[in-house]
Structure 1
C-alpha cells in the first residue's frame, strides 16, 4: 500500500489531508507521485494522521503512486519552484551522500582508488569559500545577485562529494549544511518559501551527518522561519523545540541556543502568549553573558544586537503598542541601523513603527515610516522588506480613505508587481 491508498482508506481527500497537515494540496500530490518526500519536521504529524509509525511511514512514501493526470511511465513535469537546475543540484547532492556512504564500505584499496580517481579540491577550500559568500550576501544590496555564485558552489560541492573518505565526507557535509542554509536565505529573501524550506531541510540533513549540532540547530531555526512568515506558529514552535534540544548538545560558547530562544519568542507572540514570549526574549538576552563573540558571521550571526527591535516587533504582534514603540524607537537610534548597514533590519523596524501608527489610526506615523520602508525596499530589492510591507498594507483599514495612505498602498502593491509576486 502506498501513501495515496492509505489516505483514501482513512477517508481523506487530497484537499482535506493537506488541510490537516497545514500544507498545500499540490504538495500532497507531489508526495504521492514520488516527486518529493515529506520534510522531516512534518513526518511525525504525517505518521499520526495516517495512524502508522515512522518506519511504516517511510515504506509508504517510498512507493510513488501514479495519478490519472500523470499516468505511470509518463515524463515528469517541470518543477515550478526554483527551476530544473536547482532541483538537479538537490537530487545530485543526496545521491552523492548515498554514493559516499557506499564507498566507505568498500575495501580500503578499492575505496582509495576510487577516491584518487575523482578527487577534486580540498574540503577546507569549500569552507573558506562559504565564509566569503556569506560576507558577500550580507553586503549585497540586491541579494539575488549572489544566487548564481551559490548555485555554482553547490554544483562543485556535489561533484567533490564522490569518492571521498568517511572523514572527508563528514567535513564536506558540514560545508553543504552551511551552503544550503545560504541558498535557503536567498530563496527566502526572494519570497520563494517552498524552495527555502527544501534548502533548509537539506541543510539540516547534511549538518546532522557532519556531526555539527550548532549548524544543525541553525538549519532548523531557519526552517521554522518559513512557518513563522506563513503564520503557522504551532508548526514553527514544534521545529524550534527540536532546534532547542539539538542546540543544547552544541558548543556552549556559541550563541545558537540564544538565537533559538529569540525565534521561539516570535512563535509565542504569534500564539498570543505574552509570558512565554517574554521568557524566551529574556533567555535570548543572555547572549550578552557570553565571553566571546558567540557567532561566526556566516551561518550563525546572532549577537543580540537586534534584541531591542525583536522585542518591539513581538510587542506589536501582541498588541502592546506602548511597549513596542519604546523598544523600536530605541532600536532605530542604534548607530548600525541609522547608517543603514542592514536593509532588512532597518526595513523591519520602520514597517513595525508604521504598523503601530495604523493600529492607532495615526496617519502621519503610517505615511512617514511606511514611506521610508518603501524607499528602502526599492533600493535593496529585498523581498523580506516587501513582504513586511504587504503585511502592513493589510493593517490600513479605513485609513486607506486618506489620499496619502492610499498612495502608500499603491506603492506597496507596485513593489509586489515589479518583483512578480503580486
Structure 2
C-alpha cells in the first residue's frame, strides 16, 4: 500500500470536504477515511465508484490518487460530477432538490425512521406540487422521478417505524411509486419499487413465493440498465429460495448476483443500492435459513466488520449472527452478539433489527436462567421501554 496519500487529501480539500463530511456522504466511519488517506488500507472495490463521484474524479484518476503518495489530479481535470449546471442551482431547481433529498436518504441508516417522516413527507409534498405544475418535457420527468423516489422512501420509513408491521401502507406507497416509474418509463425506478415490495413479502408477511416473484421481476425490470439493481434483486431472490428450503436454486441466484456485481461500473443508475457488507449480509441470511450455520457465521462476521457502527443494517447482521451462534449451541457468543445489536438499536430504532433481535432472544428460552441471558432480556426490555 502507498504511504500517506497527499493527493487524496488535497483532492478532498479541493472539494470543500472534511473527513467527517466525506465519511457521511459515503456512509462510513471517519476512521475509515483516515486509514485511506494514511495509506493503511484501500477502499473496497464497490466503494471506489462512490468515492470517485464524491471527489469528482474518474476511476483512472482515483486509482492514481490511491496508488501514489504524491498523486494529484491536474487542475481543472477532475470531473464536476456533483456541480450544478449554470442556472441550475437556484432554490427549487431539480439539482438542489435532488441533493437535498439525497442528504435526507443518507440519514436513514443511522437515525430512527419516525424522526425522518415529517421531513420526508414535506419533500414528497413539494415534489408532487412541482410535478403537477411543470410543463411536459424533461423538467416534468425529473420532478416525477423525484416524486417516485420520495413516495418509496416514505413507504420505507413507515414500514420500518412500525417495526415492519404496517404492510398495507408500505405496499400502497410502493405501488404508487411503481405506477409513476412505469408512467415515465424508468426501468430502474420500476425495479426499485418492485424490490421494496418484495421486502414486505419476504420480511413482513413472510410469503417467500410472492417475495421470489417480486425479486425476480425487479432483477429483470431495468432491462440491463443497472447491474447493481439486478445483483441486489438476485440476492433477495436467493433468500426467498432459502426460505423455501431450496439450496440449489439459492446458490444459483447468489452466483448470478456475483456476475452482476462484477459488472457494476461508475455510471450504474442504482449504484447507491450497493451498500457495505451487503453481499455477505444477504448470503449469511441465506445460509442461516438453510441451516448452514458455519457458513452463515463466516459471512455475517465479514458483513459486520465492513458495516459502520450505529446503523440499522449492522443491527440486523448482528441479530442474525446471534441466531446462527445460538443454533450452534454457542450461547456466550450469541448473547455477546445480541448485546452489541441492542446497543446499535438504541440509536437507530430500526424495525428490522428489532424483529431479528426478538427472534434471537426467543431462541434463548432453554438458557433463560443463565446470567448473560437474563442480562440480554433486561437490555431488550430497557430498549423497548424507551421507544
Deviation for aligned residue 1:413 = 4.2
Q: Deviations over 1:266-324 (max 9, x none)?
A: 111111111111111111122442252365678x4225742122211211111111211
In structure 1, the partner of 2:187 is: 213
Please, which of 258, 267, 292 is the counterpart of residue 231 of structure 2? Answer: 258
CA distance in 2, matches of 1:308, 1:251: 24
CA distance in 2, matches of 1:373, 1:124: 37
Please, which of 149, 152, 171 is the counterpart of residue 142 of structure 2? Answer: 171
Question: Alpha carbon RMSD of aligned pairs, Å?
Answer: 2.5
Larger relative contact order, structure 1 or 2 (CA cutoff 8 Å, min sep 6): 2
| Equivalences, count | 292
8 Å contact from structure 1 (residues 309, 327) kept in 2: yes
Normalising by structure 2, we get a TM-score of 0.69
CA distance in 2, matches of 1:305, 1:241: 22
8 Å contact from structure 2 (residues 225, 268) kept in 1: no
CA distance in 2, matches of 1:296, 1:243: 14
SS in 2 for 1:137: coil
* Structure having the higher Rg: 1
Deviation for aligned residue 1:180 = 1.4
- Matched ranges for 1:16-415 at <5 A: 121-138=92-109, 140-167=110-137, 168-190=139-161, 191=163, 192-230=166-204, 231-247=206-222, 249-252=223-226, 254-290=227-263, 292-293=265-266, 295=268, 300-302=272-274, 305-334=277-306, 337=307, 339-340=308-309, 343-415=311-383
CA distance in 2, matches of 1:291, 1:370: 34
Normalising by structure 1, we get a TM-score of 0.63
SS in 2 for 1:401: coil
CA distance in 2, matches of 1:209, 1:135: 27
CA distance in 2, matches of 1:409, 1:325: 23
8 Å contact from structure 2 (residues 335, 376) kept in 1: yes
CA distance in 1, matches of 2:285, 2:372: 25
Q: Which runs of 5+ in 2 are unaligned?
A: 1-90
Q: Which runs of 5+ in 1 are unaligned?
A: 1-119
Higher mean displacement: 402-411 or 351-360: 402-411
CA distance in 2, matches of 1:160, 1:294: 27
Deviation for aligned residue 1:208 = 1.2
CA distance in 2, matches of 1:189, 1:396: 25
SS in 2 for 1:406: helix
CA distance in 2, matches of 1:229, 1:204: 20
Higher mean displacement: 389-398 or 316-325: 389-398
